[in-house]
């Protein structure tokens, strides 16, 4: 029996301009700063319908500006670079993002309907993977916005984020084909059933994977941060005599923050100048606050403590004093301390020159520095840091193997695959965010935990600090903007959960690429349009 819909209830998609308007609104709300799960499903659905129903020229000339404008709106405050760069960046990005839509339009009608639905998702996944090789990593990938759907997110343990995106793209092409069949009063079961079956199978897999998670020994961990913007305000006051107050939720392009950052050039060049003494006093005050909170964590049973990215800002010739203090603390309280530092290399600042070490020291309960990890992938154009060697260490502890990375590193699945291929059981991710990218940036790191089968502690300044298990479930969290204490405490399972993604890596992407090639060749060699 074939499924069909009476004409009285069949939808009509014959006003393409309304489809474009809906796609535009959905694209705006697909931005990470909103953190909404539904908009990407709808935006892609409506844009694909618009492209399919419009002529080539009209579709391109209307869709590109719409996506470009939506991209600019969505990227403001998210991308930590000046507005002119955002305009150019989104111009190029919106153009590239149209490629899968027009590949689908090119092949639409050349293949049987059920096979034709696969052209768009395979092309879109290939584009996502291609753009992820750039400096922005996986930023903007729609899979992260589905983080609240725990069952769906388990697919990342098999395909990485690419499989999740595939399901969203495939939904759009399937739904559009189904609607077209309904308008023509043609059966659509062969189109709808494959998608529904796969989606149901993914959800069942996710449910079972979470339901039968192994029992494991729990370890109490703590993430500590503090408000450190006062350091930069003091530097700016000393350099210019201007008192500024940076709001806690300021973006990286905030005008006051930009002026304060400019004053840091003088601080780096002449840090020994007596006028900067109040800034060093503020640094010591922050460090004292961090230790106070760390003692509170120890009293509540924490055995592993991590501070947030670059929270200890020091000059190179003075860093030994702070390191020795940290070693003494770890030994006295018998804890593992992951001690992040932003060590400034003093001297004249030259354009394009790295003048800072963004690193995290691992200090054992014996008071020994057992590892120093440098951030592997600094944020381009923002962080003048000395990059690390890209090797993620494994720290053997009495509680199990632990690996540290720093913030932006966790946005790159290929780098973090080292964690899955090693025996790591707990991933430490000291981070620094801002309001527009929180909490999505924390969720992005949690997806790395799913992919690699590890628990995670991610303390974040100006963002959401989280403790998660190997399934991405949040076990504890602390919002920087609503908690003045900035103390995160949680218990994590110390267990390595095997994942298929660890073994096959990005095989799913290569299958999509191969499948797309075969589909296109089949469509071209058929040399006809299928009804």
pLDDT in tens, 251-275: 888 888 888 888 888 898 888 899 9
Give the separation between CA 394 and CA 454, rounded to whole angstroms.
13
Provide the 8-state DSSP code for 80: -
User: For helices 440-452 and 413-421, what crossing angle results, to 10°?
Assistant: 40
State which H helix or E strand residue 8 sits in.
Answer: none
Residue burial 45-70, b: 16+ Cβ < 10 Å; e: rest: bbbbbbbbbbeeeebbebbeebbbeb
Q: Where are the alpha helices (DSSP H) in 156-299?
A: 156-159, 161-183, 189-211, 229-240, 255-269, 277-299
Is the bond into 160 cis (omega within 30 degrees of 0)? Answer: no
Under 8 Å CB-to-CB from 151, ≥6 apart: which residues?
202, 203, 205, 206, 207, 210
Strand, helix or coil at 491?
Answer: strand
The domains of the chain are located at: 7-212+507-526, 218-496
Length of the chain: 531
Q: Which CATH class is domain 218-496?
A: alpha beta
Q: What is the DSSP string of 188-220?
A: -HHHHHHHHHHHHHHHHHHHHHHHTPPP--EEE
pLDDT exceeds 50 at position 11: no
pLDDT tier at 13, thresholds 50, 70, 90? very low
**pLDDT at residue 207 greater than cutoff 90:** yes
Q: What is the model's pLDDT at position 14?
A: 52
For residue 305, the SS3 value is strand
The first and second tokens of residue 504, run together, are: 């096959």
| 123 neighbors 419 (Cβ within 8 angstroms) | no
Q: Calculate what percentage of the chain has a pLDDT beyond 70.
A: 96
Residue pLDDT, tens place only, 285-322 = 999 999 999 999 999 999 999 999 999 999 999 999 99
Condensed to tens digits (0 to 9), the pLDDT of residues 131-147 reads: 999 999 999 999 999 99
| Whole-number Å distance between alpha carbons of 338 and 304 | 8
For residue 244, give both structure tokens. Answer: 């500024």
**Band of residue 38 on the pLDDT scale cut at 50, 70, 90:** very high
Asked if pLDDT for residue 372 goes beyond 70, the answer is yes
Give the CB-side neighbour count of residue 392, counting CA atoms within 13 A: 26
Residue 505: burial class (beta carbons within 10 Å; 0-12, 13-18, 19+): middle
Q: What mean pLDDT comes out for the span 354-368?
A: 96
Write down the pLDDT at residue 527. Answer: 55
How far apart are the C-alpha atoms of 241 and 264, rounded to whole Å?
14
Residue 160's SS3 state is coil
204 has pLDDT over 80: yes
Residue 334 DSSP symbol: T
Q: What SS3 state is found at 20?
A: helix
Quote the pLDDT of residue 187: 83
User: By three-state DSSP, how is residue 219 classified?
Assistant: strand
Q: Is the pLDDT of residue 15 over 80?
A: no
Would strands 426-428 and 455-458 be described as parallel, antiparallel, or unpaired?
parallel
pLDDT of residue 2: 46
Distance, in Å, from the CA atom of 150 to the CA atom of 412, rounded to the nearest integer, reads 21
Mean pLDDT of 20-38: 96
Q: Is the pLDDT of residue 494 over 70?
A: yes
In the predicted structure, residue 351 carries a pLDDT above the cut 80 = no
What are the tens digits of pLDDT across the range 57-94?
999 999 999 999 999 999 999 999 889 999 999 999 99
pLDDT at res. 253 = 84
pLDDT at 70: 97
CA 482, CA 505: separation in Å to the nearest integer? 38
Lowest mean pLDDT segment, chosen from 46-55, 111-120, 255-264, 413-422: 255-264
pTM of the shown model: 0.93
């Amino acid at each position: 029996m074939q499924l069909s819909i009476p004409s009285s209830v069949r939808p009509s998609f014959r006003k393409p301009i309304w489809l474009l308007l809906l796609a535009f609104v959905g694209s705006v709300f697909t931005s990470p700063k909103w953190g909404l799960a539904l908009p990407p499903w709808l935006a892609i659905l409506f844009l694909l319908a618009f492209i399919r129903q419009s002529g080539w020229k009209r579709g391109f000339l209307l869709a590109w500006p719409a996506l470009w404008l939506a991209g600019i709106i969505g990227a403001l405050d998210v991308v930590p670079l000046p507005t002119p760069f955002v305009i150019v960046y989104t111009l190029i990005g919106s153009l590239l993002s149209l490629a899968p839509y027009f590949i689908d339009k090119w092949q639409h009608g050349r293949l049987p309907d059920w096979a034709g639905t696969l052209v768009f998702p395979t092309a879109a996944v290939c584009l996502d993977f291609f753009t992820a090789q750039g400096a922005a990593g996986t930023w903007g990938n729609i899979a992260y916005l589905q983080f609240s759907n725990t069952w769906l997110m388990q697919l990342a343990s098999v395909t990485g984020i690419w499989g999740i995106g595939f399901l969203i793209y495939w939904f759009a092409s399937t739904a559009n084909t189904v609607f077209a069949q309904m308008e023509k009063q043609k059966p659509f079961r062969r189109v709808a059933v494959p998608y529904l079956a796969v989606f149901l199978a993914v959800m069942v897999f996710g449910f079972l994977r979470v339901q039968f998670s192994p029992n494991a020994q729990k370890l109490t961990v703590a993430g500590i941060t503090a408000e450190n913007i006062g350091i930069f305000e003091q530097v700016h006051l000393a350099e210019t005599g201007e008192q500024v107050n940076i709001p806690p939720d300021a973006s990286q392009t905030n005008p006051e923050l930009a002026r304060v950052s400019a004053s840091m050039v003088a601080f780096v060049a002449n840090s020994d100048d007596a006028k900067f003494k109040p800034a060093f006093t503020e640094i010591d005050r922050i460090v004292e606050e961090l230790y106070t909170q760390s003692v509170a964590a120890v009293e509540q049973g924490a055995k592993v403590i991590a501070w947030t990215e670059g929270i200890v800002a020091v000059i190179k010739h003075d860093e030994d004093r702070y390191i020795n203090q940290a070693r003494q603390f770890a030994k006295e309280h018998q804890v593992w301390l992951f001690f992040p530092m932003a060590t400034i290399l003093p001297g004249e600042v030259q354009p394009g020159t790295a003048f800072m070490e963004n690193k995290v020291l691992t200090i054992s309960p014996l008071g020994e520095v057992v590892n120093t990890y440098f951030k592997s992938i600094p944020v381009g154009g923002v962080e003048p840091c000395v990059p690390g060697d890209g090797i993620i260490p494994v720290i053997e502890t009495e509680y199990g193997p632990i690996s540290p990375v720093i913030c932006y590193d966790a946005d790159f699945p290929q780098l973090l695959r080292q964690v899955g291929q090693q025996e790591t059981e707990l991933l430490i991710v000291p981070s620094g965010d801002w309001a527009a990218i929180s909490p999505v940036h924390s969720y992005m790191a949690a997806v790395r935990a799913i992919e690699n089968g590890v628990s995670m502690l991610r303390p974040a300044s100006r963002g959401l600090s989280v403790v998660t298990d190997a399934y991405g479930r949040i076990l504890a969290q602390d919002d920087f903007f609503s908690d003045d204490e900035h103390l995160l405490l949680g218990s994590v399972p110390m267990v390595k959960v095997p994942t298929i993604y660890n073994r096959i890596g990005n095989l799913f992407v290569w299958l999509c690429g191969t499948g797309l090639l075969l589909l296109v060749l089949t469509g071209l060699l058929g040399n006809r349009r299928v009804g």
